[in-house]
Structure 1
Amino acid sequence: MTGRVTDIADNAELQRLAGRLKPLLFLRGMEGDRVRLAALLIRPFMPELPNLVTRNGAVEPELLLSRYGLLAIRYTFTLPTGADVQKAAWYELEGTRYVVNTAYDSDLAIAFVSCNGQEEGDRERPEESRNVLWARLDAAHARKPLHLLLHGGDQIYADEILDAHPLTREWGRERGDPGSNSGAEVPEVVAALRRVLLQRYLELYGQPAIADILCRVPSLAMWDDHDICDGWGSLPNKKLDSPVGNAVFAVAREHFLLFQMGAVEGALPDVCPDPSGLSLTWRVKLPGLMLIAPDLRSERRRDRVMGPAGWRTLATALADAEDGRILLLSSVPALGPRLSLIETVMRITPIAEKYEDDLRDQWQSRTHREEWCKFLRTLLAAHERDNTRLTVLSGEIHLATRGTLASDTGELHQLVASGITHPPPPKAYAAALGALASLGSAPLKQHKIKLLPLPGKSTIYTAERNYLMLARRHGTWEAWWELESGATEKLVI
């Protein structure tokens, strides 16, 4: 099967989009009394790369990538931390000064977002209505600067890039050819995917409501399926491991590393502890806080969520945690309703087969039950250590909710915020899922799972666009949800 690469933009359009992109700022951790950061700049080709400037002087650029007349330039630098950083914690690039709140050693303000898009037609939505909550987050940062922005998955909906080439279009169909060709056309497929995914990232991250915060608040991100394609890892193995499937994954990973981690293949940032690079699990240590995000996609297959590298790096990250709070990002909820009843019905209802991959995506799928229990035991072991509390942050389900896992040392909380721009499902769907959740679940004896309404709400699931805020004040952690209808009451965690 042959086909022409679908050019949805010429180089001039890509360069125009790159010209409106602001720097992308990433957190790399602490080094003594300084915060380690990286800034990524995407620009049309220029003969001389600009320096980034801080109070300590100029920072030389590092060229990561040159493609389609564009340059990806990274700057690695440090800024001071402490009580009075507003005069010193800034960087300048291309004549603009960006102030960064790096006071990580006292009170903290953290935002958590997920599901920044939708499966079809996301590019056609008016930015003003699409980015209502991004604009609110920008305004909140202007009033009281955030310290950190966490991205819990589906930062970009890459599904439509499968239209880039006839082979990917066929591969993406529900019962399409998994890709039994010899792989001779894979370079052509890769070229087509690279171009459309690059354009999509430039379009999305250049939207002012998003760009204005990504340049000022350091980010940490973990991917989920839509950063690759819908259901990645839960699709048939023959499809995933085909030449076209390998191309889809490789191009998605390349762009995730660049735009969401400020990195390139073969040179992962030191926040990723897996020396093999198979797992993109990361951990970042701040005063009194460990941030961990296991990679639930890179090694996922229909019969597993994480592979050996993922489990090994998660154990390493949790072992590195010290006294204080652990915030663990699970891109799909770790605590959720029992799905075995639904999966049993599906086995005798052919019309529901198309939802099988969606259910396999969840920890609660009967396929993953043994691994799910292992994951919960791992979380509990960290949560029950002396002077430690673990909280799970999650997204993916396009609803807001929370849950608790019973523990001998106090409840382990899960906070779900999803999605910041994805439209919510119908309220009837939320009500049906809530009825299922009300049955309760205890995959581990003595450790019952409860799914609960948001503070001030009466139903378990809230069907509104939303994001989550977390704050550490005088050593106490609290959380609240910013719903499209307004903020919830605060919850002490």
Structure 2
Amino acid sequence: MDISAPFAPLSATLSTVLGPFLSLDDLRDGQMHLAALFVAPNGIVVSPVVIDGFEVAPEILADFDHVTLWRCRFRRPATQPSTYRWEGQIFGLAGCPEGAMRIAYVSCNGEEHGDLSRDGAERNAMWARLVDDHDAAPFSLLLHGGDQVYADEVTLGHELSEDWPDSLPRDPSRADLDSLRHHLREGFLERYLSILAGPEYAAIAARVPSLMQWDDHDICDGWGSLRRSRTYSPVGQLLFQVAREVALLFQHGCNDDDLPRRFADKKALHLGWQIDAPGLRLLAPDLRSERSRREVMGDGGWQMMQDAAGAPSGGRTLVMSSVPLLGPRLSVLEALMVAIPSMQKYEDDLRDQWQSRAHRGSWQRMLRLMRQIAEVEDQEVTVLSGEIHLATRAEMALSDDKTLHQLVASGISHRAPPGAWARILDALARLGDSPLPGHPIRIRHIPGQPRRYVNQRNYLVLENDAGAWSASWALEDSGRSPELPI
């Protein structure tokens, strides 16, 4: 049933262990609870991690045709620098000290077509810059805001999914679906391995714990905004199941049986999570697992956000929204595309957005929750977003003295779209929008930039200096933007 694969399998040629790649399981009791992921050729046992002279042995997390995933869980101090050792190398950790944290935010780590064959130095140029940034002033955390991999081509090479989502088999056999599961699983593996094998990414991921939120390309382009006949078909459901399994493995260092405590739903029907650090709360709702053409989140995701809004948390709340929460009036563009037959193929891309006409009620509901979070006297809220392959920012007044800032950084390796697209969005931004009466949204310029949308590869840096937060963008051509107080 397998057709020739569209890429050379890296897993079959791997000869050394890849890792460690850190993720933050939780932060509690003064400790960072960490998971270190390793990828080893089958048959090779991964060496233990050494903590203060004590060895912690990794355990097998998952098996693939040619490689085995191993994971080691351990703890390090939360509020001060520390180290761990693996195979004789010492890795330093900045910790999460209150009033002195430095956080990097990235998104869109790949491209829709041909990502596996790109030149590594070109592809990972901004990752190399991020490593230099860390060497100059260490980061406490690395936030990934969606599209950690671009799996759009993973369906190619198998008879059942070759024409996804345009044409699907009506009644595939169990044997054919099992064959497809294997094909997809190995295909997702290759895409994650291509990221982990990059020396630029590996250099930062071993020293800065990651926290990840997935988006559509981690599954397939437009997941949740496609027609129900596609997503609820046997092939569509299998594609989601495999994407979810591998995302848990590579993005969170876990599987269904041992989810970190930060996950809101212990059954993982949605993958939303929360981290509470000194003076900082991180909220990452899952905008994909429960998404439909009419709803951005399901009951579980909304319950997580309502619980967070009803639980005061002093300091700063950073809300990760994989698609921008504050944006221009895309419903105008959406109406034009529906009216023009040649443009209707882009309808799913616009339906992905909070600003879609189909999601107006959900958008207003989320904005009201942001307002509720900020009602607490000593609480500020900021939204971090990616997805659009451009850098920008936006504001919405919440009260006389509080503003909802949105900071958009996208993408870390996805090449920038044409300048014409940035100009179209800039023109739409001039129209303004007020989904909540009395709270107009304004798209603002990044400091030092002539346009509201910057079409350069980029990442975001957040810094806390004695409780005062600021943001700056690392832009591929323009360099670092001036700091923006938030």
TM-score by length of 2: 0.96
Indicate which of 51, 55, 63 corresponds to 1:66: 63
Give the alignment partner of residue 33 of structure 1, picking from 30, 35, 54.
Answer: 30
The one of 170, 175, 179 equivalent to 1:180 is 170
Confirm or deny: 8 A CA contact 1:179 1:239 kept in the other structure: no
User: What is the CA distance between 1:59 and its match in structure 2?
Assistant: 1.4
Letter in 2 for 1:210: Y
The whole-number CA distance in structure 2 between the counterparts of 1:192 and 1:379 is 42
Q: For the Cα contact (< 8 Å) 2:181–2:238, is it kept in 1?
A: yes
Structure-2 change in CA distance of 1:319 and 1:37 (3 Å): farther
Question: Which deviations, in whole Å up to 9, do the C-alpha atoms of 1:209-231 show, x marking residues without a partner?
Answer: 11111111000000000011111
Determine helix, strand or coil for the equivalent of 1:223.
coil
The answer (yes or no) to whether the contact 2:338–2:347 under 8 Å persists in 1 is no
Alignment counterpart, residue 332 of structure 1, candidates 305, 323, 328: 323
| Aligned position for 2:16 | 19
Q: Which residue of 2 aligns with 1:483?
A: 475
Q: 1:122 aligns with which of 101, 104, 115?
A: 115
Q: Which residue number in structure 2 is paired with residue 238 of structure 1?
A: 229
Shift of 1:164: 3.0
Pick which of 392-401 and 101-110 moved more: 101-110
Letter in 2 for 1:32: D
Matched residue type, 2:260: P
Q: 1:34-79 CA distances to partner (integer Å, 9 max, x unpaired)?
A: 2211111111234655321111512132221122242211111111
User: Match for 2:388 among 392, 397, 407?
Assistant: 397
How far is the alpha carbon of 1:104 from its aligned partner? 2.4
Could you give the per-residue CA deviations for residues 264-322 of structure 1, whole angstroms, max 9, x where no partner exists? 12332111011331110010110000001000000111111101111112223444451
Q: Paired residue for 2:437?
A: 445
Q: Pick the aligned partner of 1:44 from 41, 48, 65.
A: 41
Q: Say if 2:225 and 2:352, in contact at 8 Å, map to a contact too.
A: yes
Question: How far apart, in 1, do the equivalents of 2:15 and 2:345 lie?
Answer: 38
1:372-416 Cα shifts (integer Å, max 9, x gaps): 100110111102222000000000001110000111141110000
* Long gaps (5+) in structure 2: none
Judge conservation of contact 1:115–1:421 (CA < 8 Å) in 2: yes
- State how 1:32-431 maps to structure 2 within 5 Å: 32-46=29-43, 48-55=45-52, 57-83=54-80, 85=81, 89-172=82-165, 176-184=166-174, 185-320=176-311, 322-408=313-399, 409-431=401-423
2:458 maps to 1:466: yes
Within 2, Cα distance between the matches of 1:362 and 1:474?
35
Q: Which moved more, 1:328-337 or 1:118-127?
A: 118-127
- Among the aligned pairs, what percent are the same residue? 43
1:183 is displaced (CA, Å) by 4.4
Query: What is the alpha-carbon distance in structure 1 between the residues aligned to residue 53 and residue 438 of structure 2?
Result: 55
Query: What TM-score does the superposition give when structure 1 sets the normalisation length?
Result: 0.94
Which segment drifts farther, 406-415 or 471-480? 406-415
Q: Which whole-Å CA distance do the structure 2 matches of 1:243 and 1:469 have between them?
A: 42
Aligned partner (choices 433, 442, 461) of residue 425 of structure 2:
433
Alignment check: 8 A CA contact 1:394 1:417 kept: yes
Deviates more, 1:283-292 or 1:270-279: 270-279
**For 1:431 and 1:219, how far apart are their aligned partners in 2?**
33
Tell me, which stretches of 5 or more residues in structure 1 are unaligned?
none
2:457 corresponds to which letter in structure 1? R
Aligned residue for 1:328, secondary structure, equals strand
Tell me what 1:4 maps to.
2
Deviation at 1:15, TM superposition (A): 4.9
CA contact (8 A) 2:280 2:315 kept: yes
Residues 387 and 410 in structure 2, CA contact (< 8 A), matched pair in contact too: yes
Q: Structure 1, residues 88-110: CA drift from partner, whole Å, max 9, x if none?
A: x1112233221111142340110
Matched to 2:120, the amino acid is E
The answer (yes or no) to whether the contact 1:164–1:193 under 8 Å persists in 2 is: no
Secondary structure of the equivalent of 1:162?
A: coil
SS in structure 2 of the partner of residue 290 of structure 1? strand
Q: Deviations over 1:319-353 (max 9, x none)?
A: 44510000110000000011222222223211110
1:9 is displaced (CA, Å) by 7.4
Q: Which amino acid aligns with 2:18?
A: L
**For the residues of structure 2 that align with 1:164 and 1:282, how far apart are their CA atoms?**
34
What root-mean-square deviation, in Å, do the aligned CA atoms of Structure 1 and Structure 2 show?
1.7
**How far did residue 452 of structure 1 move?**
0.8
Once residues 82 and 171 of structure 1 are traced to their aligned partners in structure 2, the CA distance between those partners, rounded to angstroms, is: 48
Q: 1:125-157 CA distances to partner (integer Å, 9 max, x unpaired)? A: 211111111000001111111100000001100
Asked if structure 2 preserves the Cα contact closer than 8 Å seen for 1:231 and 1:358, the reply is: yes
For 1:422, give the aligned amino acid. H
2: distance between equivalents of 1:134 and 1:294? 25
What's the secondary structure of 2:121's corresponding residue?
A: helix
- 1:482 to 1:48, Cα distance in 2 relative to 1, 3 A: closer
SS at match of 1:441: coil
Aligned to 1:443, what secondary structure does the other structure show? coil
Q: Distance in 2 between matches of 1:232 and 1:213?
A: 29
Partner secondary structure for residue 190 of structure 1: helix
Pairwise CA distance, 1:10? 8.6
Structure 1 range deviating more: 259-268 or 466-475: 259-268
Provide the secondary structure at the position in 1 that maps to 2:154. Answer: helix
CA distance in 2, matches of 1:364, 1:140: 34
The 1:245–1:324 alpha-carbon spacing in structure 2 relative to 1, beyond 3 Å, is same
> Contact between 1:223 and 1:331, CA under 8 Å: does it hold in 2?
yes
Mapped to 2, the partners of 1:81 and 1:103 lie a distance apart of 6
Which letter does structure 2 place at the counterpart of 1:130?
A: R
Q: Which amino acid aligns with 1:24?
A: F
